[in-house]
Structure 1
């Protein structure tokens, strides 16, 4: 059985299925976010930029070097990683989306102690 390679339509469908995700324009890309953006899709639909933790980025870029590469600027040092969709299977895309989505969930605000007096 042939592998099904990911496309922009798969990214959109899978991202919007993740809890709380919305889609909106972001400069020349389409962004998918919850509390923060976790993936952006290029207008040509060929690549997407995922927000991973630096160690997750290193793992993805090592295990699937043909599909993942750090964004070549300061954003790349923060974990932003470009993926070529046609080099990912649907399960690989799903895994990357879930990993990035986890970083975009809202964090609970810490309560500041009330001043006495």
Structure 2
């Protein structure tokens, strides 16, 4: 399980990451591009992943733990993570992938090589 506070701390640990509202959710962005949202009501985070990363991360747990958003957004890599069902280390790995998916190459390289 990962808490709202840990999601925030992890997301904001990336260079140039910022937290901004996004409709009724919280978004985390780099250079104005969203790499994650946090839905407090549903205790869920949604991350922007590549198609390959989405298929790999979706193997975790059962089909209600990590899964593509069930519409056209899911086909673009947006993937939902149930925060009450995942471990922090797993979530952080997915968050790195999401950040690197939207961050400028110069920023992403710092996290891909670590």
Which of the two has higher C-alpha Rg?
1
Unaligned runs of 5+ in 1: 109-117
Q: How does 1:25-104 map to 2 (within 5 A)?
A: 25-35=21-31, 36-44=33-41, 46-65=43-62, 66-104=64-102
> What's the TM-score, normalizing by structure 2?
0.84
Unaligned runs of 5+ in 2: 107-114
Moved more, 43-52 or 80-89: 43-52
> What's the TM-score, normalizing by structure 1?
0.82
Q: Considering only aligned residues, what root-mean-square deviation do their CA atoms show, in Å?
A: 1.5
For the 8 Å contact 1:7–1:45, the answer to whether it is kept is: no
Aligned to 1:9: 5
For the 8 Å contact 2:4–2:40, the answer to whether it is kept is: no
After TM superposition, the runs of 4+ consecutive aligned structure 1 residues lying more than 6 A away are none
Number of equivalenced pairs = 104
